[in-house]
Chains A and B, each alone.
Chain A
Amino acid sequence: MDNLVEKSQIFDNNGWRLPNGIYETFSDQPKWFFKLGEDLPEDKLAIDRIDKYKNINRKNDALEGLSRLNNKINNNIFIKNINNGIKVPFVIKKIDVDDIGKFLEEILLEKVSKSFTDFFPESHFKAVIQDKTDLINKLSPSVNSGYKEFLNKLSKSDICGYYFPQVLQEYSVDSQILQMKEINKVPNLCLSGPLEVATSLIGTPNLLISKTHYSPVLCLSGVTHIDERLICCFKSYGRHLEFWCLSQMLSKNKKQVSEQWSGGLSVFTEY
């Protein structure tokens, strides 16, 4: 039985998704040169901060929901190791989002920017797209990513959850999406995308900032750009925070597979 469980493990002891020789990763095992996790706030502080910038409902219920979710993860032998990695809480008020790009561009980035520059008044937030236009009507849920289901649930209920930003560190974006095929039957789990990653950064604005370590680039692979050469991500630049809609092409026929790029998984629940 133990052997069977071990073989069914999805995450290693660092909470990293095991690639099982199938998925394209930078290395077989990350060296974690790119790190997160310096002075991260407790869940309550992060939720308070989200409330300050996004005005959420029933804060205490959200915190209880997070606690229940945490226990649920710990009791699931197949996914419990995900809890060994860094996780960041998020709470999002019920909303029907029909254009993810527009919502990100017109609503979320402003709140990320405000929370970040209030927290680090001397730093900047910047958003750049390697394209000639904007994000409106450009982003849709990635195939099999679970993001469509996430948005469906969010259209019916308030949602709280955890974003695990380093689960898919070193995975190519295509492999971040592809590996979801194996785990998209796990309920209430999706490949991380703009809504909950941005919300996590609002609550935890120092997630990517460290005096000593470089942090990973947080890809928002739960959504795919209409031009598949482009991906969306948050990254630090020194003590600054940036959003980029960036080319993932290493060359004309080869996509990026980088030690620094990371996809995340989000585990969530209605509350």
Chain B
Amino acid sequence: MEASVKVLSKEDSHKILSKDASLTNEEDRKRKDQSQKRPRVHQKIQNYFENMIDGAISPILRLKINRSACNMKCEHCCEEPYMTRDLIKKTGKKDPRRQMDLEDYRKLSEEADELGLFRFVITGGEALLDRNLEDLIKVLDPYKHLIILDTNGFYFNEEKAKWFAGLGGYKVQISLDSWYAEEHDAFRNTKGAHERALNAFKVAKEAGSEVLLSTCLVRDRVFTKEFQLLCDFCETEAIPLYVTLAKPVGSARGHEEWVCTKEDVDQLKFLEDKKNIFTHMTPNYGQPGKCITVKGINTVNHDGEIVPCPYMDLSIGNVTKEPLKDILDRGMRNKWLGPYRDECIIGENFDFIKFHNETVEKHLKETPYLPVPYEKGFALNGSV
């Protein structure tokens, strides 16, 4: 299986790759596929590629739906404080803030399309628990955008796989936190989770969807036999392995011993040359490896607050109250978020982690509802 980054042989390594030549075969294949299947997506990708030199961005919009309801209770979950079950425990009631409805998502899809964005990830909690999921996929328009379903795989059976592919869904992203079944099930507090996840890969592929295995890396895991076995499985099954770094937020707040060191991250970068393994910071589509806050991904909370990274609890604005473009522009000018930097700030930079966690802690003393609004969080950083 092809490596996730394009590297020439040692003898040719000094030769400069132009923007187009720097694409991997897989990147090239996916792009060509879209020119056939989703011409509007293809057009947006081309435009983005053309305008990249002007600083154009085209982030994924990651939609947290259905109040993040979930059938699992994972040790490292960053979503728990947003879930109704957690809020009821703390306050006796669910989040009273207005939740985004289908009309809001339709408007967001249109705004995203106008800005040239082409990817939505639908997540929760567990997205498949949402009874309105089909309507949501339809209003997002799977022929104008690539729709990626983020799931723990527990309910993703053959029927669901056919249903998703039939709706025009693009990719299924399934989480697997250990190659060892007992470890994965224990981590997720759900017996049989591992077996169901493996089946989900099978049925998703059979239905013709792109698939991706997502796994969370805690300190030193990258050097273990278990991780090697997981890599081997992905290689055998031709499944790209997407690695997220454990962050000391959500249920993992206070677990700084889980935070990866630079050595862990360097090892991942080393493996990228050999296997189809990548993180959110892997160089791709002609861009160098870097932190992708605002530029590469933004989470849309249930109430419309935009959070510039899936693992942060600080907002840069609310899309039900102001245009998406203004929010992204504001984010790009924020000192922590916009300017170029290599490291994952919420996963590796203890100055940022301290700022983030102290700001969240202070906010939670006033209200149980996250994320922290822009004015009380990122606005304090200053802009470039």
Contact = CB atoms under 8 A, between A and B. Distances in A.
A31 B351 CA distance: 10
A126 B7 contact: yes
B333 A213 contact: no
Given A229-B53, A257-B384, A237 B16 contact: no
Nearest to B8: A126
Nearest to B49: A130
Nearest to A211: B263
A256 B53 contact: no
Contacts of B17: 126-129
B341 A126 contact: no
B52 A254 contact: no
A229 B261 CA distance: 34
Interface stretch (A53-61, A158-166, A258-266): A258-266
Interface residues of B, number: 46
Interface string B345-361: 00001010000000000
A230 B53 contact: yes
B256 interface: no
B18 A239 contact: no
A259 B342 contact: no
Nearest to B265: A238
A33 B351 contact: yes
A112 interface: yes
A217 B54 contact: no
B13 interface: yes
Given A126-B8, A249-B54, A258 B339 contact: yes
A110 interface: yes
Interface string B194-233: 0000000000000000000000000000000000000000
Interface stretch (B131-139, B167-175, B237-245, B282-290): B282-290
B255 interface: no
B151 interface: no
A249 B53 contact: yes
Which secondary structure dominates where chain B touches chain A?
A: loop
A239 to B, nearest CB: 5
B11 to A, nearest CB: 9
Nearest to B53: A247
A237 B283 contact: yes
A229 B54 contact: yes
Contact of A260 (B270, B332, B341, B384): B341
B10 A117 contact: yes
A117 B8 CA distance: 12
Interface string B316-342: 000000000000010011010011111
A256 B267 CA distance: 29
Size category of the A interface is 35 or more
B282 to A, nearest CB: 9
B15 interface: yes
A5 B289 CA distance: 43
A124 B13 contact: yes
A157 B22 CA distance: 38
Contacts of A113: 10, 13-14
Interface stretch (A62-70, A132-140, A142-150): A132-140
Contacts of A261: 340
B270 A122 contact: yes
Interface in B12-52: 13-20, 22, 52
B260 to A, nearest CB: 12
A213 B262 contact: yes
Contact of B55 (A110, A132, A254, A259): A254
A267 interface: no
Interface of B: 7-8, 10, 13-20, 22, 52-57, 261-263, 265-270, 273, 283, 286-289, 329, 332-333, 335, 338-343, 349, 351, 384
Given A249-B54, A257-B339, 16 more contacts: A26-B335, A110-B14, A117-B10, A124-B7, A126-B7, A127-B15, A130-B19, A130-B287, A131-B53, A134-B16, A240-B269, A240-B270, A240-B273, A247-B55, A251-B55, A254-B333
Q: Which 7 A-B pairs have the closest CB atoms?
A: A238-B269, A249-B55, A258-B339, A113-B14, A238-B266, A110-B14, A109-B14
23 contacts: A26-B335, A109-B14, A109-B16, A124-B273, A127-B15, A127-B17, A128-B16, A128-B283, A129-B18, A134-B16, A214-B342, A217-B342, A230-B53, A238-B265, A238-B266, A238-B267, A247-B54, A250-B338, A250-B339, A250-B384, A251-B329, A258-B339, A260-B342
